[in-house]
């Protein structure tokens, strides 16, 4: 159902329900939540790549799960929706950078997964869609993450029509940041992003993610004080002190030296 492989410092999380195009059910939702919670706490993990096994990245909700939902009470629906929301929130707020490796299709909740990740790289033939209205429902739980990426204007069109669209359109509207011609090129793009991440300070990356969420949730005036406090903490923190000192002395910062040391150990 979910494959997790850690080859330090990279963790690969693969949705593994290829027979149903990696559609969610309640069990997979819990597994993803628990897995990202665990990986976020691991010092030996610097980057997480989220992908799917088989023909698709993720086709949204599992049909059998949806059949059960039809008979849920309002309270059961609330409990179920909150659990799904926690999954998206855990991925979006993960201290580690999360890269979505998207192929095949990313529909409904699968497209929401893409929006929850920090960086999304897709093959140009991928089909996206917020198709919930075709079923008489709405993309409610994924809406905060999708609207944060697309903006309300773009979201209105695709939430209302429920139409499918290809990766170049997803790139234009901001759902993904990079499009590749084929899967080999896809992995090359991901590797280049990982290389950049590994030259950056891990705690600074986590703080940068918090900065983005914090500023987005505030007014312009209050965000300035929030940002001032954030940079003051970063400059006086251990990484900030070490990084600035290394720059001034034209030396490598300690996190790069650590990566290089680990690479030498792993090759022995």
Residues of the chain with pLDDT under 70: 258-268
In this prediction, residue 261 carries a pLDDT of 62
**What CATH superfamily is the domain 200-266?**
Lyase 2-enoyl-coa Hydratase, Chain  A, domain 2 (1.10.12.10)
Could you tell me the pTM of the whole model? 0.90
pLDDT in tens, 242-259: 888 888 888 888 888 766
In this prediction, residue 40 carries a pLDDT of 97
Domain ranges of the chain: 2-197, 200-266
Map the chain to HEC letters: CEEEEEECCEEEEEECCHHHCCCECHHHHHHHHHHHHHHHCCCCCCEEEEEECCCCCECCECHHHHHHHCCCCHHHHHHHHHHHHHHHHHHHCCCCCEEEEECCEEECHHHHHHHHCCEEEEECCCEEECHHHHHCCCCCCCHHHHHHHHCHHHHHHHHHHCCEEEHHHHHHHCCCCEEECCHHHHHHHHHHHHHHHHCCCHHHHHHHHHHHHHHHCCCHHHHHHHHHHHHHHHHHCHHHHHHHHHHHCCCCCHHHHHHHHHHHHHCC
For the 2-197 domain, the top CATH level (class) is alpha beta
């Amino acid at each position: 159902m979910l494959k997790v492989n850690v080859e330090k410092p990279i963790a690969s999380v693969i949705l593994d329900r290829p027979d149903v195009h990696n559609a969610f059910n309640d069990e997979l939702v819990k597994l993803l939540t628990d897995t990202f919670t665990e990986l976020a706490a691991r010092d030996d993990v610097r980057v997480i790549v989220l992908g799917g096994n088989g023909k698709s990245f993720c086709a949204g909700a599992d049909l059998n799960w949806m059949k059960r939902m039809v008979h849920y009470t309002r309270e059961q629906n609330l409990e179920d929706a909150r659990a799904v929301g926690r999954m998206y929130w855990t991925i979006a707020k993960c201290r580690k950078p999360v890269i979505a490796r998207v192929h095949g299709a990313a529909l409904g909740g699968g497209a929401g997964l893409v929006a929850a990740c920090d960086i999304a790289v897709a093959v140009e033939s991928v089909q996206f869609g917020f198709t919930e209205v075709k079923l008489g429902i709405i993309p409610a739980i994924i809406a905060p993450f999708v609207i944060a990426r697309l903006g309300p204007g773009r979201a209105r069109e695709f939430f209302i029509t429920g139409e499918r669209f290809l990766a170049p359109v997803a790139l234009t509207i901001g759902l993904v940041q990079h499009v590749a011609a084929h899967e080999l090129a896809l992995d090359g793009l991901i590797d280049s992003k990982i290389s950049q991440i590994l030259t950056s300070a891990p705690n600074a990356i986590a703080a940068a993610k918090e900065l983005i969420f914090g500023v987005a949730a505030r007014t312009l005036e209050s965000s300035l004080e929030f940002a001032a406090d954030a940079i003051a903490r970063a400059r006086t923190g251990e990484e900030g002190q070490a990084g600035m000192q290394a720059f001034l002395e034209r030396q490598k910062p300690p996190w790069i030296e650590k990566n290089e040391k680990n690479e030498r150990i792993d090759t022995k």
